[in-house]
Amino acid sequence: MKAVILTGGEGTRLRAISGGLPKPMMPLLGTPLLERTVTLLRENGFDSLCLTLHYQSQIIRDHFRDGARFGVHIEYREESAPLGTAGAVLNCADFIGGDSFLVMSGDSACDFDLAELMAGHTAGVTIALAAQAEPLPYGLVLTGRNGRVTGFLEKPAWEQVVTDQVSTGIYALSPEVLSHIPPGTPYDFARDLFPRLLERGVPMRGQVMEGYWCDIGTPQAYYQCNLDALSGLYHLPGSQEAPRRILPCRDRARLMRAMSEALAEFGADFSDGLTVSLAHGKAHLAPMADRCALSLDGDRAAIRRLEALAKKLERDMGS
């Protein structure tokens, strides 16, 4: 599968701590964020990548070269002047060819199941969504039945907030979408292309993703992302350690009761927290002693299923 990674931004808000590095090359526990992203894509079956370049491009070229060292094939498309997010992807049209492909920002950290996102994509645009309790800095995506996109709100005020679903800047696109991007002019996905596609009736769907996502656009977000990786909230791509997820909650004992009731029929072991074997693998779930959160360990796919169940049960408890 093919993916385009947007890596041309200057990262002006990070200048105080970046030392002039391109934002995607900021170290995340000692490894450049962009390298973490390349590893995540490889783990999800993306073996051919195109990186869009503008600011300090030689630093990125020198680090990744042809991608062989990272188990992928990498090509580059450089912009003499910024083309916007959609314009930069159009600049990769010869790389994309006639296949559906993934677009991903090079300055965000996540551990999403991107293969699942591509598997669910059928036509037009599929936007990877994340639920955010503080959604003001992001673009909100309104969806109806079956995830059909009905509208967008770009960086709203609190009085305008009608959903917690934000766009992560990760999209599965069909190649026909490129024909809606004007060539040679700055053009943005959120501000220009997506509203235009919505008006023209192009199929657009939002898919809420399970897992961790963080835009490292500010020093505070960057430092928090490193702390989240240390605590296990963000599972680092390429990590040889067993996956671990920290799931904050309102009432850990009550949520454990709901999980125990839901999983009892699957032969769960309650001798030490909750251990369950599913078709997706084995996972262990237990409340944390020092904070109101659950700890999930085990096989990645099983953890994702338990995390999705726990979030659903907590929503049901709240309502």
Residue-range domain boundaries for the chain: 2-215, 242-318
CATH architecture of 242-318: 2-Layer Sandwich (3.30)
**Is the pLDDT reported for residue 183 higher than 90?**
yes
Output the average pLDDT for the chain. Answer: 91
What pTM was computed for the model?
A: 0.81
**Is the pLDDT reported for residue 100 higher than 90?**
yes
* Per-residue pLDDT band at 3 (split at 50, 70, 90): very high
pLDDT of residue 219: 93
**What does DSSP say about strands 101-105 and 2-6: parallel, antiparallel, or unpaired?**
parallel
pLDDT of residue 316: 86
pLDDT of residue 46: 97
For tokens 């020093």, what's the residue?
A: 219
What phi, psi does 161 have (nearest 5°)?
-70, 120
**How far apart, in whole angstroms, are the C-alpha atoms of residue 56 and residue 277?**
48
pLDDT of residue 299: 80
* Per-residue pLDDT band at 242 (split at 50, 70, 90): low
pLDDT of residue 8: 87
Higher pLDDT, 86 or 303: 86
Higher pLDDT, 269 or 170: 170
**Is the pLDDT reported for residue 240 higher than 70?**
no
Name the least confident of 98-107, 111-120, 184-193, 234-243.
Answer: 234-243
Give the homologous superfamily in CATH for domain 2-215. Answer: Spore Coat Polysaccharide Biosynthesis Protein SpsA; Chain A (3.90.550.10)
pLDDT of residue 238: 80
**Is the pLDDT reported for residue 170 higher than 90?**
yes
Task: Give whole-number Cα distances, 228 to 21, 91, 110, 120, 212, in Å.
Answer: 22, 34, 11, 28, 9
* Per-residue pLDDT band at 280 (split at 50, 70, 90): low
Q: Do the beta carbons of residue 179 and residue 89 sit within 8 Å?
A: no
